[in-house]
Chain A
Amino acid sequence: MPGALQDCEVLVVGGGNAALCAALSARERGASVTLLESAPKAFRGGNSSHTRNLRCMHDAPTDLLTDAYPEQEYYGDLWRVTGGQTDEALARLTIRDSAACTRWMKAYGVRFQPALGGTLHLGRTNAFFLGGGKALVNEYYAAAQRLGIQVHYDAEVVDLAIDDGAFDHAVVCAGGEKRRIAARALVVASGGFESNLAWLRQAWGPAADNFLIRGTRYNMGKVLKVLIDRDAEKIGDPTQCHAVAIDARAPKFDGGIVTRIDCVSLGIVVNRDGERFYDEGEDFWPKRYAIWGRLVAQQPEQIAYCIIDSRAVGRFMPSVFPPFGADSIEGLASQLNLPAERVIETVRAFNQAVRPGRFDHAVLDDCRTRGLSPEKTHWARAIDAPPYYGYPLRPGITFTYLGVKVNERANVLMKNGSPSNIYAAGEIMAGNILGKGYLAGFGMTIGTVFGRIAGQEAAIHARR
């Protein structure tokens, strides 16, 4: 650890995108800044290391983005995915400020690239980081070092001293010792609680034991819990989390992007009993992948299996785990440990219900089933071209929505309503804007916009 923990003007808790944006912004305003990352250096950056883009408003084509993505359309997209569960003022602030993000990021060395292969539909709305989120985090840490921000790894905040709504000092566990570090202002950007398996179990019951965590193992939600205990006003529901269906063979933590399974809309999905349970072709996969985590979580033993035939091969992003494969449905069922007769019957009934149509994966085509429950409403083709392939699916938690309530200055609101000297950014306050659902790249937008606001406001407060 470079140097001992010192008191400072702005203390930033967290080590991902929002924390780094806050630290750099506070430093821009002249504050002395200390950043505490609970992870070791090799795993710094939290879930930001697994990201790849941020969603930006723009009224005309930019050097990075095509066409235009005006505020109204952006807000409309957000409203749709959240079903209106958003704070409109904060949401519009985030959207408007997103327009200036990439310029600021570039000044700190972040580089961009054209939309990634396989994600061309995002080329208008999302700016992609060259090399992904870890490259971005690396640039910010390098900038922090250049600018004299004190960065400490393996430094976990275990308690906050908050007196009458005002932060005084943090208790930090680092190097096996507990120490105090005082600051005039505090920025919490320490993520959600999705890595805290006990907390997940508390919210979800025993089903949570079968969840996989797509990101960092260090989002334990300790600071979030302390803030809630110290009368910060909370927002969101602990049983809400963003979960997608990922390969059941993925590691418990940090599997990231490569564990996704992108062939659901090309096949059928059955549960442990060999039964289908939802319309696999309801809408384009990028618009539906986020509901499948919950769907699988509601199935017995939180497991499901996606079955495709050879016609689907090459039509979806390759997965890191090779599929199980067999020349017959029976053989595949036995490889997947599924009741063969049930699976054969499910596939037979599905194939029989498929109506003739013109298959086109790029549009909502007319290939559908009739007389099935549930129907498959698009891209339904008989599964009859061996070899057959199967991928096992589990819910993969991306992030949690429970957080602290903030105002437009990123101030954490205490139960008595008075804004404090505590600011929040990133996942810990994303629930203010994203009550449910998700928009690709929006987490990084919230983190960048509110990280910058929190850093600036904390520095202004600290140096007043």
Chain B
Amino acid sequence: MHADDPTADGANDPLVNGERIMRICNACRYCEGYCAVFPAMERRLQFTRSDLNYLANLCHDCGECYYACQYSPPHEFNVNVPKSFAEIRARTYRQYAWPAPLAAMFARNGLAVSLVLALMLVLALSAATLVLGKDLVAATPDPAGDFYRFMPHRVMAGVLGGVFLFVALALAMGFIRFWRDMGESLSEFTRPDALRRALGDVLTLKYLHGKGAGCTYPDERRSQARRWFHHLTFYGFALCFAATVVGTIYHYAFGWKAPYGYLSLPVVLGTSGGVGLLIGPAGLLWLKLRSDPQTSDPGQLGMDVAFIALLFATSLSGLALLALRDSSVCGLLLVVHLGVVSALFLTLPYGKAVHGIYRSAALVRCALEKSQPMPDAGLD
């Protein structure tokens, strides 16, 4: 057989296998109507490591191309784009992580995230105990629900603000590394047309939409479930984040101190977001555990579940804190919530969350490419 035999096993290196599969797909092209990956593939005749990193992150893992594939296993060509691209994505998450030594957190991500969570809980507990100098579970509940008596505002804001700045820097560095790997200049990223188009794709999850039919996840039957659960998660998170921003503005700009009333803007935003952030992650986990093992990379289950669980725990502890803020467990719940939130943020650059950065950036690049004329790649 020829050295470039498409059946040759390149399973040891995801990029070798990915290149092999893309060569088959590019000679077939039946799937080009499904998503952005295949039209982007058709602009190329060869697939470099950067190309594969790009295409893998452009893939939304909807599974359609696997079920439609005439070459999927047990066919000897063994074409499985969702699985191959999941493996390549996992590699890129490590490759782009900043600072580089922390990429090790991806290796056993579920464990790493759990350890960070435990550490954050202990730190928050110690801090609160230090401040309070006595038992955290207050003997007499505070009807006003003031939680700054467990932890002064400046401590809370200082620590979380620091975490936030570090995380923002780490994510930005990851993005820059991805973008450089694509061979694109940063000025290209800010082209308004491409940015607007990509933003639309991200905010609507266009490529999980299947033109209204949904996608083949968790199994061969098409459904919109994943898209809606993802929307609940993403927009729930966004609303919770907005609640924090509004609270910060209230505190510093107007001198209005928490706790805020149940019908105040921060609490309404946080509560509605929190509900989304309960249902969304629970739904995603439910789908994940029922998903077709054929199309996924089993090595990533820990990472996926860790992120989903942290999102869920963030929302659950936040809502519990709101509901029980005037009870005796207020202090304990505050500490748990702060621990979970800091663990969530600290692990954002070293867990599943980075998929949002790289996929969005890949969509921007895809929009940039679409604005260029089609290169000579077999379309004489």
Contacts and interface: CB of A to CB of B under 8 A. Distances in A.
A249 B1 CA distance: 8
Q: How large is the interface on B (under 10, 10 to 19, 20 to 34, 35 or more residues)?
A: 35 or more
Contacts of B69: 134
B71 to A, nearest CB: 7
B31 to A, nearest CB: 6
Contacts of A437: none
A142 interface: yes
A42 B294 CA distance: 13
Contacts of A138: 67-68, 220
B31 A132 contact: yes
B61 interface: no
A316 B32 contact: no
B28 interface: yes
Contact of A133 (B31, B64, B70, B376): B70
A361 B376 CA distance: 13
Given A117-B39, A254-B75, A317 B68 contact: no
Interface stretch (B19-27, B89-97, B139-147, B168-176): B19-27
B42 A321 contact: no
B84 to A, nearest CB: 16
B30 A132 contact: yes
Interface in B14-71: 23-24, 26-34, 39, 42, 45, 64-65, 67-71
Interface string B1-15: 110111100000000
Interface in A246-282: 249, 251, 254, 256-258, 260, 262
B74 A42 contact: yes
B154 interface: no
A258 B378 contact: no
Nearest to B216: A138
Contact of A131 (B2, B6, B30, B71): B30
A362 B380 contact: yes
Nearest to B79: A258
B379 interface: yes
B75 A116 contact: no
A322 interface: yes
Contacts of B75: 43, 254
A116 B32 contact: yes
Contacts, number: 110
Given A117-B32, A132-B68, A133-B70, A320 B27 contact: yes
Given A135-B68, A321-B2, A130 B34 contact: yes
Contact of A117 (B34, B73, B379): B379
B111 interface: no
Contacts of A256: 28, 70-71
A464 interface: no
B2 A118 contact: no
A258 B27 contact: yes
B30 A52 contact: yes
B380 A322 contact: no
B186 interface: no
Given A49-B70, A111-B213, A320-B24, A131 B29 contact: no
B32 A314 contact: no
Scoring A318, A319, A321 by chain B CB atoms within 10 A of each residue's CB, the highest score goes to A318
A251 B76 contact: yes
Interface in A19-73: 42-43, 49-50, 52
B164 to A, nearest CB: 43
Interface string A299-319: 000000000000001111111
Contacts of A251: 7, 76
A441 interface: no
Contacts of A52: 30
B70 A118 contact: no
B33 A314 contact: no
Contacts of B28: 132, 256-258, 320
A362 B213 CA distance: 37
B134 interface: no
B27 A318 contact: yes
Contacts of B132: none
B377 interface: yes
Nearest to A320: B27
12 contacts: A52-B30, A111-B211, A113-B33, A117-B29, A117-B39, A131-B34, A132-B70, A138-B67, A257-B27, A257-B30, A315-B380, A317-B29
Given A131-B68, A134-B69, A314-B376, 5 more contacts: A117-B29, A132-B68, A135-B67, A251-B76, A318-B23
Interface of B: 1-2, 4-7, 23-24, 26-34, 39, 42, 45, 64-65, 67-71, 73-77, 211, 213, 220-221, 375-380
